[in-house]
């Protein structure tokens, strides 16, 4: 069984080329994979499942075609599209996963995250994350007219961009101690996430001397980035990662 993982596409109505790139990749892989996991930030902004931009029609149709073909689709929200819900997932024939989803991959206990929860050094962001993930506040937001939702979203993005310029790259990356804590607490030996836009395969050694691995999915700009996993190995396809650094034997 072959699984495809992608994240951080950041699709936007203003960038039809990127949407087409996503459609092309998914269409090219439809006869090679059994499951597809999209681990958050599928969209650069999401104002609610009732406000799907017309510019995403081709992407929605591509997901629906994959589901109709029998490919299992799994979606996870990110820090940009945290308002994406079960209604959209149902529309495209996908399952909406909780952040922190466990599965078995070739005998490896695996944890899937978007990745922002690991960036605990960014204290202000973690505080913001707790607020916007509040179900009551989300319901209140969805009750607003579209123009007000857009206004609030624009203000949040503007403020976020201003703060981002003042933060160091280290603060916005994962906290290594938190990675170790989560992997130990969840008793996993494979962690897959996106968010940081730093594609790589990291190997860590546990206190017992065993090796565990963290795979970081890349963001999409003008080039695709994806992870393929079968019963024998995983391979990270990204122009920033090459050679032995892009693959890992699982058996």
DSSP secondary structure, 179-213, as one string: HHHHHHHHT-SEEEE-SS---EEEEEE-TTS-EEE
Question: In 172-198, which positions are buried (b, 16+ CB within 10 angstroms) versus exposed (e)?
Answer: bbbbeeebeebbeeeebbbbbbbbbbb
- Binding-site residue positions for substrate: 79-80, 122, 160, 164, 167, 195
pLDDT at 67 (0 to 100)? 98
pLDDT at 222 (0 to 100)? 83
Question: At 203, which CATH number?
Answer: 3.60.21.10
Q: Kindly report the length of the chain.
A: 251
SS (H, E, C) 99-117: CCEEEEECCEEEEECCCHH
- Binding-site residue positions: 8, 10, 41, 79-80, 114, 122, 160, 164, 167, 195, 197
Number of other CB atoms surrounding residue 53 within 10 Å: 17
- Give the torsion sign (CA, 57, 59, 60, 65): positive
Q: Which domain holds residue 89?
A: 3-249
**pLDDT 10s digits, 55-110:** 999 999 999 999 999 999 999 999 999 999 999 999 999 999 999 999 999 999 99
- Binding-site residue positions for Mn(2+): 8, 10, 41, 79, 114, 195, 197
Six token digits for residue 39: 């681990």
Q: φ, ψ for residue 229 (rounded to 5)? A: -130, 125
Six token digits for residue 161: 């961009």
pLDDT at 170 (0 to 100)? 63
**Widest distance between CA atoms in the chain:** 55
pLDDT at 169 (0 to 100)? 64
Number of other CB atoms surrounding residue 40 within 10 Å: 28
Q: φ, ψ for residue 43 (rounded to 5)? A: -115, 145
pLDDT at 205 (0 to 100)? 81
pLDDT per residue, tens digit, the chain (251 aa), is 899 999 999 999 999 999 999 999 999 999 999 999 999 999 999 999 999 999 999 999 999 999 999 999 999 999 999 999 999 999 999 999 999 999 999 999 999 999 999 999 999 899 999 999 999 999 999 999 999 999 999 998 888 787 777 666 666 799 999 999 999 999 999 999 999 999 999 998 877 767 899 999 999 988 999 999 998 999 999 999 988 889 999 88
User: Total structural domains in the chain?
Assistant: 1
pLDDT at 167 (0 to 100)? 66
């Amino acid at each position: 069984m072959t699984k495809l993982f992608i994240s951080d596409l950041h699709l936007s109505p203003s960038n039809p080329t990127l949407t087409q790139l996503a459609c092309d990749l998914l269409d090219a892989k439809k006869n090679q994979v059994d499951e597809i996991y999209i681990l958050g930030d599928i969209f650069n902004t999401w104002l609610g499942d009732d406000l799907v931009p017309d510019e995403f029609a081709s992407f929605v149709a591509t997901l629906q075609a994959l589901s109709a073909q029998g490919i299992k689709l799994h979606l996870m929200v990110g820090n940009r599209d945290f308002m994406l819900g079960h209604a959209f997932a149902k529309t495209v024939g996908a399952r909406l996963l909780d952040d922190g989803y466990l599965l078995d991959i070739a005998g490896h206990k695996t944890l899937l995250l978007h990745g922002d929860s690991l960036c605990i050094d960014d204290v202000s962001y973690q505080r913001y994350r707790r607020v916007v993930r509040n179900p009551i506040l989300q319901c209140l937001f969805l009750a607003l007219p579209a123009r007000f939702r857009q206004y609030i979203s624009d203000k949040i993005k503007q403020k976020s961009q201003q703060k981002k310029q003042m933060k160091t790259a280290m603060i916005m990356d994962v906290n290594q101690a938190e990675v170790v804590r989560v992997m130990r607490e969840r008793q996993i030996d494979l962690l897959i996430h996106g968010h940081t836009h730093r594609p790589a395969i990291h190997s860590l050694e546990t206190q017992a001397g065993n090796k565990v691995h963290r795979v970081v999915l890349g963001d999409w700009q003008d080039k695709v980035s994806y992870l393929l996993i079968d019963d024998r190995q995983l391979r990270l396809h990204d122009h920033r990662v090459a050679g032995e650094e892009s693959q890992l034997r699982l058996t």
